Structure 1
Amino acid sequence: MLNLKFLETFVWVARLRSFTLAANRMNATQAAISSRIAALETELGVKLFLRDHKKITLTPEGLNILARAEPLLKSARSLVDDLSGAGWLHGTVRIGVIDTISFTWLVDLIRSSKAQFPQINIEITADTTLRLVNLLAAGEIDVALIMGPVLEQGYLSVELCSYACHWVASPMLGLGGRASLDQIARFPIVSFPKGSQPHAAITRFFEQFPRDDHVIYTANSLATIIRMTADGIGVAAIPPVVAERELARGELELIDAQQPIPPMRLHAVYFDGPAQLIPATIAELARQVAHDFCQHSNPDWAWDRPSAGRSGSGPLA
């Protein structure tokens, strides 16, 4: 009888084109992955992969079996779901999350998961969107809560919510809540890290203000960005919803000026492969939690559906 575990292993190797990445994805050793593939080839009586020192490719027989294996595994997963129900889920899910979400509703997500799926263990990795997408591709996390979507084939992106971005500064800078763009350009800009969508938008935005002495400070920690801005190091464009306490205490103030960063679109992204019930469940739970968070937030700062005409909206490449 065909071993579904071996068939699942074959699908992961075929999708990732790597025994090492498949081993990471399935929490197995590379030797175990190789052994499963060898056993499957023996059982089917065909060669599935061509290997050399640089890459692996599917044989014609392998391509044919892949086309049939994926629907078979999805049907098997659906059967298990119908018989057991999501409440019986158990295992470990590795969630990658950006600070923008950590500062708002990540704790609510963990609490909801604990209440609904008490047998699911959660491992959190906090990092930038770019780094988390790489970790997802390498099989080191199962679902990424990031600025998305990810449009590459093989990924599913569940839209969660959007956050508006606004200029903020310390009152000690004396901007008085209103400033021209030229005034803002005279201060250092405290920005998200290079390679991020917000940093790219900031860079493009300030190309209209060529200054030899213009300074941008970058940090991959939102807490650091908020602290530097509140201490008067410079001006930042961030979602106000992540700095509500600092705004309420008067440590930061909103600056009325043209916004350089369009709204941040947040997504839950996971690999569309077999045996992805837990990541899919967490992604859907994140959507529900984000919706609840937005219902209790300033509607100009956070919303759970795209909306033309919001403050600061615009294309972001």
Structure 2
Amino acid sequence: MDIKILECFMEVARHKSFSKAAEIMYISQPSISRAIKELESQLGVTLFYRDTKSVELTDAGEIILQQAQQIVSSFQNITSQLGELKSMQSGKIYVGLPQITAITTFSNMINSFRKEYPNIYIQLYEFGPKKVEASIQDGLLDIGIFTPAEDNKIYEKIWFEEDPLEVVMHPANRLTQYEVMDYRKLIDEHFILYNNEYHLHDMIINACNHAGFQPKIILETSQREWMIQMVMDNLGIALLPSKICRSLDTKMVACRPFLDPKPWLRLALVWKKGRYLSFAAREFILFAKKHYGVK
């Protein structure tokens, strides 16, 4: 069985798209289709079911994906000891990150890494945190950014982002009279909230419950721009990281910090413990540890 065919299969599974897989692998879409048909013929099963809008793995495809990842990883482990991969001149890294948060320090770190390793390609995927975590579990991503549980033994991680949340409101909101916030002041407000893909969703609801009320949620979303627009239209309040608040137009919205103890957004670079990582991904992790001062 040709490793290239397995790689084609994994890319279609990763992107749920024949055309996107062809684009990533720099081959034609008919070539991708032929590779999948050849693999299905060799194995005697259907790997994907397709309609006009999506491409999804069949049950057999799910099983074969797990085996394909192990085979390709083993092959990469051999070839990575040779030539350019060994000397870290080339490679590809798949990284997933959340949609709402402004991760300036991560962007700076990537820019520094690219300057030092210009031939290593970093593919970024913007997903909700739960999908990022699931993709790491499935081997479709090398590294993800989310908030893992402190006692989780499945992952290795580098904590790199701590940012306090602030209340974002319309300038006409009654809360602008206060210099600092606590959850009890928010009891009568309508909340524009992160959806339940985000750790902050549960954290905010639990904090409101602890303050003695159930928040009135009018919108749950993963779209930061929509959250801010709803606030600008005076339809509710949002709780956003301070780095995002600093970028907002103070004529359109007002922001207020919380009293101590403040609610925090905490993010880590996360990868699955024990999973094979390419030399490129391992070098990226070592670079990140050095960048963030982690031993």
List structure 1 segments (4+ residues) > 6 angstroms apart after TM superposition: 20-23, 30-37, 52-57, 72-75, 150-153, 247-250
Structure 2 distance, partners of 1:274, 1:35, is 29
**Unaligned ranges ≥5, structure 2:** 15-24, 26-31, 44-58, 65-69
Structure 1 letter corresponding to 2:112: S
Match of 1:122 in 2: 122
1:53-202 to structure 2, matched below 5 A, reads 76=78, 79-80=81-82, 84-86=86-88, 88-90=89-91, 92-99=92-99, 102-148=102-148, 156-170=155-169, 171-173=171-173, 174-202=176-204
CA contact (8 A) 1:158 1:284 kept: no
Cα displacement (A) at 1:30 = 6.2
SS in 1 for 2:246: helix
- Structure 1 contact 146–269 (Cα < 8 Å) conserved: no
Q: Report whether the alignment pairs 1:210 with 2:213.
A: yes
Question: Structure 2 vs 1, CA of residues 279 and 84 (structure 1 numbering), >3 Å: closer, same or farther?
Answer: closer
Q: 1:53–1:234: structure 2 CA closer, same or farther, 3 Å change rule? A: closer
What TM-score do the two structures reach when normalised by structure 1?
A: 0.59
Change (3 A) 1:246 1:32: same
> Structure 1 134/142 Cα, relative in aligned 2: closer, same or farther at 3 Å?
same
- Residues 263-288 of structure 1: per-residue CA shift (max 9 Å, x gap): 41322325643352222233343445
- Mark the CA change 1:130 to 1:251 in structure 2 (over 3 Å): closer, same or farther: same
Helix, strand or coil: the match of 1:245?
Answer: coil
3-state SS in 1 of match to 2:248 = helix
Work out the CA distance in 1 between the residues paired with 2:208 and 2:220: 15
Task: Tell me the secondary structure at the aligned position of residue 194 of structure 1.
Answer: coil
Q: Would the aligned equivalents of 1:149 and 1:267 in 2 still touch at CA under 8 Å?
A: no
Q: Secondary structure at the match of 1:281?
A: helix
Which deviations, in whole Å up to 9, do the C-alpha atoms of 1:101-144 show, x marking residues without a partner? Answer: 55423432442232112112232211211011222333433321
Judged with a 3 Å threshold, the aligned counterparts in structure 2 of structure 1 residues 110 and 275 are, in CA distance, closer, same or farther, namely closer
Residues in 1 aligned to 2:288 and 2:41: alpha-carbon distance in whole angstroms? 37
1:214 and 1:96 mapped to 2: Cα distance? 31
- Match for 1:229: what amino acid? V
Give, in whole Å, the separation in 2 of the partners of 1:259 and 1:238: 16
Greater displacement, 191-200 / 140-149: 140-149
In 2, Cα distance between equivalents of 1:119 and 1:35: 36
Q: Following the alignment from structure 2 to structure 1, what is the Cα–Cα distance between the partners of residues 198 and 266? A: 11
Distance (Å, rounded) in 2 between the aligned partners of 1:236 and 1:258: 19
- Counterparts of 2:125 and 2:85 in 1: how far apart (Å)? 32
Kindly tell me: are residues 76 and 215 of structure 1, through their superposed partners in 2, closer, same or farther at Cα, counting changes over 3 Å? closer
The alpha-carbon distance between structure 1 residues 55 and 131, as it changes in their structure 2 partners (threshold 3 A), is closer
Deviation by residue 1:72-105 (Cα, 9 ceiling, x = unmatched): 989857854999432x123x32221113555423
- Equivalent residue runs for 1:280-299 within 5 Å: 280-289=282-291, 291=292
Letter in 1 for 2:270: A
CA pair 233-288 structure 1, distance change in 2 beyond 3 A = farther
Task: Name the % identity.
Answer: 11
Instruction: Summarize the Cα distance change of 1:270–1:53 in structure 2 as closer, same or farther, 3 Å threshold.
Output: closer
Report if the CA contact (8 A) 1:103-1:242 is conserved: no
What residue in structure 2 maps to residue 238 of structure 1? Answer: 240
SS in structure 2 at match of 1:215: strand
* Contact 1:148-1:157 at 8 Å conserved across structures: no
Does the CA-based 8 Å contact 2:142-2:281 persist in structure 1?
yes
CA distance in 1, matches of 2:61, 2:84: 42
State how far apart, in whole Å, the 2-side matches of 1:262 and 1:163 are: 6
The 3 A distance-change label for structure 1 pair 166 and 114 is closer
- Structure-2 separation of matches of 1:53 and 1:84: 35
Name the CA shift for 1:117/1:149 in 2 (closer, same or farther; >3 Å): farther
